[in-house]
Amino acid sequence: MLKSHCICTHLRRAARGVSRHYDEALVGFGINVAQFSLLRHLQRLDQPSISVLAESMGLDRSTLGRNVRVLEADGLVALAEGVDLRNRIVLLTEKGLARLVAATPAWEQAQDALVSNLGEGQRDELVRLLEQLA
C-alpha cells in the first residue's frame, strides 16, 4: 500500500472497509448497510419528506432518490404525497420494518465487533473527529 498523508484517501479507504464489514453482516437480509441506514432513519423520523430525509442522512436528493427507488421496488418503503403537493414523503412499510427488525441483531454484532477492536474510548474519539470533519 502506498503511503499517503491525504486525509480523504484514508477516510475513503476506511469507509470502504467499514461498509464492507457491515455489508457482510447484513448479506443474509437482502440489504446493504446504506439501505439499513435509510430504513433506520425512516424508523426514527415521522414520515419525512425526501428533502428532510436527505438532509438527515447527509445525502443529496438525487442520491437518496436512487436509494429509495431500490427499496420501493423491494416493497420496503413507499412514497406518498405530502401536505404540500410539491413534496413527497417516504414511508417505512410493514415489510421494511420487519426487514429492519430482523437485520438489527446482525448490525449490532458488526457494531460490537468494531467497538471491541477500537475500544470505547477510541470509538468516541473517532466519532468526535468525524463529526468535526463533517
Q: What is the CA radius of gyration of the chain?
A: 17
Mean pLDDT, rounded, of the chain: 93
pTM for this model (two decimals): 0.89
* C-alpha cell recorded at residue 51: 428533502
pLDDT given at position 1:
63
Q: All domains of the chain, ordered by start, with CATH?
A: 27-105 (1.10.10.10)
Question: How large a percentage of the chain has pLDDT more than 90?
Answer: 84
Q: Could you give the CA distance from residue 8 to residue 134 in angstroms, rounded to a whole number?
A: 12
What band does 41 get if pLDDT is binned at 50, 70 and 90? very high
| Contact yes or no for 93/77 (Cβ under 8 A) | yes
pLDDT given at position 75:
97
| Contact yes or no for 49/59 (Cβ under 8 A) | no
What band does 84 get if pLDDT is binned at 50, 70 and 90? confident
Q: Could you give the CA distance from residue 51 to residue 53 in angstroms, rounded to a whole number?
A: 5
49 contact partners, CB below 8 Å, separation of at least 6: 82, 87, 88, 89, 90
